[in-house]
Amino acid sequence: MSIWSRILDALQSLASGEGLAHLFDRFRAPPERSVAFTIAVIALGAKMAKADGQVTRDEVTAFREVFRIAPEDEAGAARVFDMARKDVAGFEDYARRIASMFQGEGQVLCDLMEGLFHIALADGRYHEDEDMFLEQVARIFGLPEAEFRGLRARFVPDAIPDPYSVLGVTPDADMTEIRRAWRKLVRESHPDQMLGRGVPEEAIQIAERRMVDINRAWDEITALRAG
């Protein structure tokens, strides 16, 4: 059974009037945390979209930036997204529930934020309201400012990412500290590590762009220091 089928089955068991937020407690423990992660990305991504009516092909495409969605699951994924978008709960409520679920697991919350950045940039633009939304979510998550700046540096279009921000270090850091930060990010981005944190297999492609950005930043800093 695909992750989308599992979510849809869980949705059908909800009492009348209950929304996605009521599913979070059900999927707190392994191995169901991958379902919780998926619901979290969908819930916040849908709130960020601020769209009306039916789910568009562009929105489904946006989720392909985060999840591998098989053709037979596309309708189910769209239905979950549409339900989240129509839920009366505000995004702050979702964000607080998610922060409570993954309390003390900052890297999982960073993975989730990265998924939201992928969705925000699916149209190739980064809007001011999206930036405000993501900044507020990061604040509720308790994500350090340096980590949020590093994510934004990697994703904001029409700008050259600052390699120091990408690695979460300052320009005055020595190479030992920079190398330590780079190795930590590489280790945390390994698919096995991400699966262990509860990131679903369908979303492991998050790591692909991350590894490219991390290694590019390391190479740039190494070249600068060598010169």
Model confidence over 63-82: pLDDT tens digits? Answer: 776 777 777 777 777 777 77
| Total of domains in the chain | 1
Taking alpha carbons only, the member of 47, 33, 52, 119 closest to residue 84 is 47
Q: What is the model's pLDDT at position 51?
A: 42
Q: What is the model's pLDDT at position 79?
A: 76
Q: What is the C-alpha to C-alpha distance for residues 207 and 221, in angstroms, rounded to an integer?
A: 21
Taking alpha carbons only, the member of 124, 3, 120 closest to residue 63 is 120
Structural domain for 133, as ranges = 3-226
**pTM (predicted TM-score):** 0.75
Return the SS3 of 143: coil
Q: What is the C-alpha to C-alpha distance for residues 191 and 187, in angstroms, rounded to an integer?
A: 9
Can you list the residues of the chain whose pLDDT is less than 50? Answer: 51-54
